[in-house]
């Protein structure tokens, strides 16, 4: 738990916000979301390949700006106890 909190802190998040964001995205997308990572670009490359394959199958995502807005809103709600 402490190690996870440390990683989340480096990403500018706390445990409650991350869990709420994770659960809301599962409900919204009806799928387990991709993870945020501090690891090497190999992980990013794998995520990009997966996203490309999903687009080719007709699965559409959201824009980066919309994702950031959603994250800010969800984190704010989690931190305020909503």
What span, in angstroms and rounded, lies between the C-alpha atoms of 31 and 70? 17
Give the single-character DSSP code of 64.
H
The pLDDT of residue 46: 79
Which segments of the chain have a pLDDT < 70? 35-43, 82
Tokens of 33: 């979301």
Query: What does the domain layout of the chain look like in residue ranges?
Result: 2-80
The pLDDT of residue 61: 74
Report yes or no on whether pTM surpasses 0.75: no
CB 55 within 8 A of CB 45: no
Given the structure tokens 């992980």, which residue do they identify? 43
């Amino acid at each position: 738990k402490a190690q996870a909190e440390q990683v989340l802190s480096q990403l500018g998040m706390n445990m409650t916000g991350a869990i709420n964001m994770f659960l809301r995205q599962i409900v919204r997308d009806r799928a387990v979301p991709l993870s945020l990572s501090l690891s090497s670009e190999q992980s990013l490359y794998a995520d990009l390949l997966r996203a490309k394959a999903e687009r080719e199958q007709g699965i559409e995502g959201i824009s980066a700006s919309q994702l950031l807005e959603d994250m800010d809103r969800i984190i704010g709600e989690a931190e305020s106890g909503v």
